[in-house]
Amino acid sequence: MADLLQELNSQQQAAVAAPAGPVLVLAGPGSGKTRVLTYRIAYLIAALGVPPYQILAVTFTNKAARVMETRVNTLLGGKTDGLWLGTFHAICGRILRREAAHLPIDHNFVIFDADDQITLVKRVIKEMGVNDKDYRPHQVHARISSAKNDLIGPEDYPIENYRDETIAGIYKAYQAYLVGSNALDFDDMLLYTAKLLETNPTVREKYARRFRHILVDEFQDTNKAQYYLLTHLASVHHNIFVVGDEDQSIYRWRGADYQNILRFSSDFDHSQKILLEQNYRSTQTILDTAVAVIDDNKNRTQKHLFTDRGTGERVTVYEAKDDIEEASYVVDTIARQVMLGRAKESDFAIMYRTNAQSRLLEEAFRRANMSYRLIGAQRFYGRREVKDLISFMRLIYNPRDEISLARVINLPPRGIGNVTLEKLQNYARQKGQSSGEVLLSLGGGDARQAADALGRAADRLQSFAEMLTGWRLDLERMSLTELFDQVLRDTEYQAFITDDRDEEQDRWANVLELRQVLLEYEDQGMAQFLEAMALVADQDTLPETLEAPTLLTLHAAKGLEFPQVFIIGLDEQYLPHSRSMDDPEEMEEERRLFYVGITRAENCLYLVRAQRRRSPYGSYETMLPSRFLQPLPDELIQGRISRPIERRSTFDMSVYQWDRQYGSPSQRKRSAPPKAREQRFYPEMHVEHPVYGEGVVRNSRLEYGDETVEVYFEGIGLKALVASLSSLEVLGEE
DNA sequence: GCATCGGATTTTTTT
DNA sequence: AATCCGATGC
């Protein structure tokens, strides 16, 4: 083991061999964070003789968990039996299944994924007679989710206005539905576990005593539920070792709070703090670029990132004329380097803010006859036929699952429409049962009462009820794939999906692929299979070995590294994203996201923008260069971007065209526009524009020597205007 | 009960 | 552009 410590620098050694007690490791990007975690585990086991089952290691993603597992196994030669290593959600699932006796659900609960959650919110909204225009299911769900992440149950939901009251009502009904379905959603997994540990001292002690050592990855991304969960688990031994970097906190929208890093030092007495500042990944130029960007954030502790990898190449900044050229620039640049033998396809990653941005890239790659691997978005598990069949499995495993039942009961169509389904649901509710339980008694044959009450509906339900009853028995005596095949046969599913004209091949192929996945769970059983389906992200399903460039969102890029990185879409509204313009905290998060992207690069970094893009709306829109490009010092970059004032192309074209046609005071006299030195416009100001009329300023900032004003015009929407070109008049302030 | 059509509405990031 | 929802007609 002493040998192993030799392979680490002194900061890493200090962390790995830190004495027991709370330890906070602040790890800059590329500083060997995973290395420290895995060596720490190996150190505890091999050098200190801690039995593996007394160690708990938590990550956020399955990928991170898998990487750690393999590395620990390599270090220890496989002597890790009993070690708990997994994502927060997987660990919680494990605890909750064991402790189901203390919960309102039983141990074979199912997990509702994002789609199920929305479906359920919609259903509740409908049943409550709430207008879904005023209460958008996605928004309502977001409110429920963030309440859960803050450990706020339906009863404690803070009510300040009528809207809150309605949402609290939906939350309550939503939660009741989950319990009735013997189901949890993602957030419940954390919430239930945290609450259980908080309220039940016996259970808390059981786990807190067991886990002598707790290690946490990506600590800056923990939310309140996760933080308290960890606090409870560490309440006996206090040996909690967390690794994080506040500059890489990018999950605020999911309730993550990087302030947990500060909280850690004050909540855990005598905690040690260790900084990892040496970067082993990137060239100095890339690090300097990253620092130049992140320095604009206010709430952060400065770190002194350094590397001995040398200066390296300058960062390439490229401005494409439009989004199509942006994509072909990326593909051309990669193709050229590959052709020259200077790089191989898998050296490259292309990162973007939103999944939608991958489309033009994919088209460009296909045009060039090059393969690529796309992370996320295309979603094997999101395919209809895959979801359908998982729903069948879920319903068989847990007949109380109302959402799965509603999904598959008429699949393929067998004459059970909404009316029949509602009759069934109403009857079930009357009886205090779930729809599935009613079906099972119907299928069992001794339910004269139900059959009478349901009348004609019962006839239609009968055959499905019998199938379901049969599958329940099959579950006991068949293997998983046999059951799967039985369901396919009974429902004549293949004929159903092959009925459609196009992509029929694909859809059946997906079914077979799912069957293949099921085969891997033959030994572990249905519970494990369903849990994996719910918790394993699509990111994990891609072949690692494919020799091709990787396309992924900036979020998905965290924790990865590539020799050459493209970040595209460096335009206002894209990065930073339009949704984060109003809130300084969110703007800082966008900057961190960019920082994460930059620091993925080992040797070469390309920052790409486009002067105009086709908006997901319709026609082309002129873009302003991202504010994040501004702090980059000239000596670090090669290539230029046009400044809004120097090139006409980057201000609001509609205004310009109008001005040119009809002339406006500002346009008539001026040859070179006067540069704004001082900000003239502030949020809430009322202004008048010659074309759009009166509006209210939302936001304004000085950049590139001029002032860019975002104004909201009634009936027109938000417009970004360049102050010196658009003759805005101030009407007054509120 | 089901299929089809038209209109409205959408847009971040993910365990 | 794509999806979702509701209304309409069969």
- Shortest CA to C1' contact from A414: nucleotide: B1
Is the pLDDT confidence value at A290 over 50? yes
Q: Is the CB of A617 under 7 A from strand C?
A: yes
CA of A383 to C1' of C3 (A): 15
pLDDT in tens, A652-662: 333 333 332 22
Look at A7 and A221; give whichever has higher pLDDT: A221
- Shortest CA to C1' contact from A119: nucleotide: C4
CA of A569 to C1' of C5 (A): 33
DSSP tag of A536: S
Q: Is the CB of A162 under 7 A from strand C?
A: no
Token readout for A317 is 């900044």
Contact positions of strand B to protein Cβ (< 7 A): 1-3, 9-15
Q: Is the CB of A355 under 7 A from strand B?
A: yes
CA of A383 to C1' of B10 (A): 21
Q: What is the mean pLDDT of residues A712-716?
A: 70
Model pLDDT, residue A13: 92
pLDDT in tens, A440-488: 888 877 666 766 776 777 778 888 899 999 999 999 999 999 999 999 9
Contact A256, A244 (CB under 8 A): no
As annotated, the active-site residues of A are 33-34, 217-218, 248, 600
Token readout for A351 is 């990162």
Q: Is the CB of A98 under 7 A from strand B?
A: no
Q: Is the CB of A133 under 7 A from strand C?
A: no
Among residues A270, A301, A242, which one has the least CA distance to residue A36? A242
Model pLDDT, residue A658: 30
CA of A109 to C1' of B5 (A): 41
User: Cβ contacts of residue A150 below 8 Å, gap of 6+?
Assistant: A223, A224, A225, A255
Among residues A471, A466, A494, A498, which one has the least CA distance to residue A482? A471
CA of A419 to C1' of B2 (A): 12
CB atoms within 10 A of CB A186: 22
Q: Is the CB of A412 under 7 A from strand B?
A: no
pLDDT in tens, A158-216: 888 888 888 899 999 999 999 999 999 999 999 999 999 999 999 999 999 999 999 99
Residues 683-702 of A with CB under 7 A from strand C: none
pLDDT in tens, A120-168: 988 888 888 877 777 888 888 999 999 999 999 999 998 888 888 888 9
Q: Is the CB of A129 under 7 A from strand C?
A: no
pLDDT in tens, A31-47: 999 999 999 999 999 99
pLDDT in tens, A618-652: 667 788 888 898 888 888 877 777 654 333 333 33
CB atoms within 10 A of CB A547: 11
Q: Is the CB of A66 under 7 A from strand B?
A: no
Contact positions of strand C to protein Cβ (< 7 A): 1, 5-6
Is the pLDDT confidence value at A434 over 80? yes
Q: Is the CB of A506 under 7 A from strand C?
A: no
User: Cβ contacts of residue A461 below 8 Å, gap of 6+?
Assistant: A416, A420, A424, A439, A442, A454
Nearest residue to nucleotide B9 when comparing alpha carbons to its C1'? A133
Q: Is the CB of A230 under 7 A from strand B?
A: no
Model pLDDT, residue A539: 56
pLDDT in tens, A548-571: 899 999 998 988 999 999 999 999
CA of A618 to C1' of B6 (A): 19
Mean pLDDT computed over every residue of chain A? 84
Residue indicated by tokens 């027109």: A716
Contact A713, A732 (CB under 8 A): no
Peptide bond into A412 cis (omega under 30): yes
Confidence label for A674 from pLDDT (cuts 50, 70 and 90): very low
CB atoms within 10 A of CB A527: 17
What is the secondary structure of A414-470 as a DSSP string? -S--HHHHHHHHHHHHHHTS-HHHHHHHHHHS--HHHHHHHTHHHHHHHHHHHHHHH
Q: Is the CB of A132 under 7 A from strand C?
A: yes
Write out the E strands in A449-583.
550-553, 562-567
Q: At what angle do helices A224-233 and A186-199 cross, to 10 degrees?
A: 40
CA of A461 to C1' of B3 (A): 22
- Shortest CA to C1' contact from A126: nucleotide: C5
